[in-house]
Amino acid sequence: MDRKQCCVKLSVQPSRGLVDEKFVVLVQNAFPGFQLTIHTHHQCEDGHSWEAFGHYTADATGTVNVSEDPSLGGTYSETEPMGLLWSLRPVPGSKPGLLRCAVCINGTHVQPIDGFLEELIGYFKKNADKIRFSKEEEVIFRDLPLPIPTDRSLKVDVGQLQCPLLLIVGEDDQNWPSYESAQDMKEMMERAGNSHLLTVLSYPNTGHLIEPPYMPHSRASTFHPVRSASPSMALWGGQTVEHSHAQEDSWKKMLAFLRENLYGGADPGARSISHL
């Protein structure tokens, strides 16, 4: 085949779909054994650019199927059908970098539903010495509530719940002691004789921000603490590959959990979840 006559074809099917639906990226009409890079680019609403890419080698028919063929390098490796999405990362230079930051400790970014904000802020200020920083000066909040209080008046009595409960835990959560909290809740439900209502999905090397499937993994990002005009850089945790796989797995099991407990498992697509 004359190299000049080669017209490489790139297709994505389906062209439209729901956020949790996979798509197939296919390259055709390349030269057999041809090395190529497939690149994705996204510009978010704030104007910042994100990119992902994988290096591939065309097969004997000049075809690369991202769903079946391994990436030889890039922002992801091995066979990852949705790697071009979940491995998206900021384009270098597309937004100002933050090397060091002064953090104002004003409390949690999640306001308590009962409105005891002043009490909570006071607690965090008293325990400010438990706040740590990564080598990149990202703030780590996970130790603030540790050790988990033994005084039952200081926490919700989860053991009194009379409905099914699903906990999705990132074991590398650097913003909150998710694993320890889940264990404490499990013990409360066991003492109350309600452990049969609890399902725990615990994922190693998974951080705080467990999003719907194929969302890019944000190991660290800026956020605005309560009553603070300036943002901080927080470490959420997680390793990209494991975190992304956890997002996909937990989403499927969460939908199955809801179908089973809201509709009695009537949906043929639902499947039972074992109590871990």
User: What is the predicted pLDDT for the residue at 109?
Assistant: 30
Q: What is the mean pLDDT of the chain?
A: 84
As a whole number of angstroms, the distance between CA 247 and CA 222 comes to: 21
- Indicate whether 39 and 125 sit together in one domain: no
pLDDT for the residue numbered 144 = 87
First to last CA, the chain: 57
The predicted structure's pLDDT at residue 115 = 52
Q: What is the mean pLDDT of the segment spanning 76-81?
A: 97
Same domain, 79 and 149: no
| Each residue's pLDDT tens digit, 169-180 | 999 999 999 999
pTM score, two decimals? Answer: 0.78
- Residue 42 located in a structural domain: yes
pLDDT at res. 113: 44
User: Considering the domain boundaries, does residue 111 fall inside one?
Assistant: no
Find the range with the poorest average confidence among 9-23, 146-160, 240-254.
Answer: 146-160
pLDDT-wise least confident of 60-64, 157-161, 229-233, 237-241: 229-233
Mean pLDDT, rounded, for 182-198: 94
154 within some domain: yes
Residue 102, domain member (yes or no)? no
- Looking at the fold, whether 78 and 191 belong to one and the same domain comes out as no
For residues 121 and 240, membership in a common domain is answered with yes
* Cβ count within 10 A of residue 106: 16
Q: Do the domain assignments include residue 211? A: yes
Determine, yes or no, domain membership for 161.
Answer: yes
Lowest average pLDDT, out of 102-106, 130-134, 222-226, goes to 102-106
Q: How far apart are CA 153 and CA 188, in angstroms?
A: 13
pLDDT at 96 (0 to 100): 56
> What is residue 45's predicted lDDT score, i.e. its pLDDT?
83
Average pLDDT over residues 14-28: 95
- When pLDDT is averaged across residues 138-163 and rounded to a whole number, the result is 88
- Go through 124-134 and write b for each residue having 16 or more CB atoms within 10 A of its CB, e for each that does not: beeeeeeeeee
Instruction: Answer whether 70's CB lies under 8 Å from 76's CB.
Output: no
| Structure confidence at residue 108 (pLDDT) | 35
| 9 and 79 assigned to the same domain | yes
Domain count for the chain, please give it.
2
What integer pLDDT is reported at residue 129 of this predicted model?
Answer: 82
User: Cα separation of 272 and 183, whole Å?
Assistant: 22
Q: Are residues 135 and 241 in the same domain?
A: yes
The verdict on 11 and 148 lying in the same domain is no
Q: 230 and 191, same structural domain?
A: yes
Phi-psi group of 243: left, alpha or beta (phi > 0 → left; psi -120 to 50 → alpha; rest → beta) = alpha
Same domain, 255 and 161: yes
Q: Which structural domain, as residue segments, surrounds residue 258?
A: 117-262
**Residues near 49 by Cβ (< 8 Å), separated by ≥ 6?**
41, 42, 43, 90, 91, 94
Note whether 258 and 154 are same-domain residues: yes
Residues 123, 77 share a domain: no
Do 202 and 258 fall into the same domain?
yes
Which comes out higher in pLDDT, residue 105 or 20? Answer: 20
Q: What residue type is assigned to position 94 of the chain?
A: S
- CATH number, domain containing residue 70: 2.60.40.2240
Q: pLDDT at residue 242 above 60?
A: yes
Report the CATH number at residue 231.
3.40.50.1820
In a domain, 8, yes or no: yes
